[in-house]
Amino acid sequence: MTDDRTHRPNQNRPFSDEETSGLYRAIHERRDVRSQFLPDPIPPDVLARLLDAAHHAPSVGFMQPWDFLVIDSKSVRSAVLSIFEEENRKAAENYEGERNAQYKSLKLQGILESPINLCITCDRSRGGSHVLGRNSIVETDLFSTCLAVQNFWLAARAEGIGVGWVSILDQEKLAKTLKLPEHVYPLAYLCLGFVSEFLEQPELQKKGWRSRLPLADLVRGSTWGESLTEPALEAEIRKG
């Protein structure tokens, strides 16, 4: 594993135009992959880089609450799939008529199709009883672990690796299946692999489930009811 100096020979220099473009490309072209996985294995050096990227996420109080379960066991994955199927049946009951039929037509996991699964967990005891910065908001350990997930996802996109987050799972059953200690929470169950394509749009948008909200409708001023006071910023946001 290379150290930080290999990644950042001069931490004070600005990113080049090419580097900046690559960062924004990864952000805008990241997709939640479910249907496009290829069987090709992920090379160990690539997976190690992705895990290293996740491990370099920011965390409140530098608590680093994450652990990474690299799941290649078919029996474990089959057990997780069973949990998904049970929860997915319950979720379908939230919709009626055409919406129910549309929900049932969506592919919402690639647990067995992807060559490997990964569970990113949050150790809620890491750092001890008093973690700097966590006194008022105890959920900051969960928030920090989400940042590790995002780091992993963006790095994966840059490496041409698809990632799908399976959120339709009973967390208690998942924790039991993965034999997690009581204080460790299974925050993100991910399917990983090379893909046949990255879709131009998010799959739920492409299939008409939801569309991306306009950014201009979501940016506000100093308080909730205020508009932006900077016309140039508002104009740039509306252009985008």
pLDDT > 60? residue 3:
no
Looking at the structure, do residues 115 and 152 belong to the same domain, yes or no? yes
pLDDT > 60? residue 5:
no
Looking at the structure, do residues 174 and 239 belong to the same domain, yes or no? no
Looking at the structure, do residues 200 and 179 belong to the same domain, yes or no? yes
Instruction: Give whole-number Cα distances, 24 to 21, 58, 160, 199, in Å.
Output: 5, 19, 15, 17
Amino acid at 12: N
Looking at the structure, do residues 105 and 165 belong to the same domain, yes or no? yes
Looking at the structure, do residues 200 and 215 belong to the same domain, yes or no? no
Helix (H, G, I), strand (E, B) or coil at 64: coil
Looking at the structure, do residues 220 and 129 belong to the same domain, yes or no? no
Looking at the structure, do residues 154 and 41 belong to the same domain, yes or no? yes
Looking at the structure, do residues 80 and 101 belong to the same domain, yes or no? yes
Looking at the structure, do residues 79 and 149 belong to the same domain, yes or no? yes
Provide the domain limits for residue 233: 211-240
Q: How many CB atoms lie within 10 A of CB 24?
A: 9
Phi first, then psi: give them for residue 203, nearest 5 degrees.
Answer: -60, -40
40 domain-assigned: yes
At 240, the pLDDT band (50, 70, 90 cuts) reads confident
Looking at the structure, do residues 216 and 201 belong to the same domain, yes or no? no
CATH number of 106's domain: 3.40.109.10
Q: How does pLDDT run across 87-124, given as a tens digit for each residue?
A: 999 999 999 999 999 999 999 999 999 999 999 999 99
If one counts the domains in the chain, the total is 2
pLDDT at 8: 56
Q: Over pLDDT 70: what percentage of the chain?
A: 96
pLDDT at 52: 98
93 domain-assigned: yes
Q: From edge to edge, which strands make up the β-sheet containing 161-166? A: 66-71, 116-123, 184-194, 161-166
Instruction: Give whole-number Cα distances, 185 to 41, 120, 145, 172, 209, in Å.
Output: 27, 9, 10, 9, 29
Looking at the structure, do residues 115 and 220 belong to the same domain, yes or no? no
20 domain-assigned: no
105 domain-assigned: yes
pLDDT > 90? residue 141:
yes
Looking at the structure, do residues 228 and 136 belong to the same domain, yes or no? no
